[in-house]
Amino acid sequence: MKIVMLGAPGAGKGTQAKMIASKYGIPHISTGDIFRANIKEGTELGKKAKAFMDQGALVPDELTLELIMDRFKQADCANGYVLDGFPRTIPQAEALTKALSDEGGKLDYAINVEVPDENIVNRMSGRRACLSCGGTYHVVFNAPKKEGVCDACGGELVLRDDDKPETVAKRLDVYHTQTQPLIDYYAGQGILKEVDGTKEVAEVFGDITAILDK
C-alpha cells in the first residue's frame, strides 16, 4: 500500500499520515525526517543535502528524490509507506512517477485532505507553542489549563510567526499555485481519493480507512 498525502498546510494530513502508518504497519515518510536521518548518519546523500541546508538553500528536487527512493529500499517499506510533504509540484510528481516506474512500482493512492482556506486560517491562528519544551496547543481544540501557560513545563505559550494569519495566507497562496495542481495530476492517474478534513480527526481517519480497506 503506497500512499501519498495531499492537502494544504494545516489541513491535518500529517496527523492522518501517522495514524495510517500506525494502523497498517507501514512507515510514515516525510522529507524532513529523511534529511535529518541521513545527516545524522553522515551518509553521502546526507552530506550533499547538508551542504545546501547550511547555505539556507532548498535541497534540489533531484537530490530529494534520490533520498526518498533510497528510503523506499529499506526493509520497513516492504509492505508500502505513507509519503508526506513530497511531491509539492508537478515536476516533482512526474519525477517520482518515473523513478517508481523505473523500479517497477507505482503509487496506489493519493489522499487529499480537503479543508477550505478560511478553516485553515482559523485553525492555525489558534495554535500556541511552548517556548521551553516545544509543546503545542490550540485555543479552541486543545486549550492549556491556564491561558498562555504550558501544562507540561509551565513555559510561556506564543503564537508562532508561521501561524499568524498573514503568514498562513501567504503559505496558502503558494500551495494553490504550486501544489493544488497535483490533485488534477493524480486524478488523471486514477488514484486520487478525497476526504473532508473539516470533520473531527477520528471521523476523517474513518473515511480514509474506508477507502483503504475496500
Active site residues: 13, 88, 127, 160, 171
Sign of CA dihedral 132, 136, 139, 144: negative
| 109, containing H or E segment | strand 109-114
Backbone angles phi, psi at 104, to 5 degrees: 80, 25
> What length does the chain have?
214
What is the residue type of 165?
A: P
> 3-state DSSP call for residue 12?
coil
Angle of CA points 105, 84, 115, to nearest 5° = 120
Rounded-to-integer distance, Cα 158 and Cα 120, Å: 18
DSSP characters over 117-158 = HHHHHHHHHTEEEETTT--EEETTTB--SBTTB-TTT-PBEE
Backbone angles phi, psi at 84, to 5 degrees: -130, 120
Rounded-to-integer distance, Cα 67 and Cα 48, Å: 10
Q: Which residues pair with 113 in a beta bridge?
A: 195
